[in-house]
Structure 1
């Protein structure tokens, strides 16, 4: 009996799978925590995987 594995997810070519990052703004808040902003990859919207296209060329 053959073992069927699911296909591996396609990694986004724009971010190489690192879809979200935390960027420090410099300085700290009144509690001493670093101020950060989360930035997401605009190509995959923070998922890290590329979407497959159907025949019409629209995102699936």
Structure 2
């Protein structure tokens, strides 16, 4: 896009604006046993023997 400079000056500029490499992707939330529940609200699909795709029932 017309930039004539080098990559080094860009890396120097961006270095202090990036998060640290050792920062965890997801912060864990620890609770005592029995005090928290988690639910995956994703939709599950499965394929039968004939190759037809079905949505799993909402309750089993």
TM-score bracket for the superposition, by shorter chain length: under 0.3
> Normalising by the residue count of structure 1, what TM-score does the alignment of the two structures yield?
0.22
Relative contact order (alpha carbons < 8 A, sep ≥ 6): 1 or 2 greater? 1
Greater fraction of residues in helix: 2
Greater fraction of residues in strand: 1
Query: Which structure: larger Rg?
Result: 2
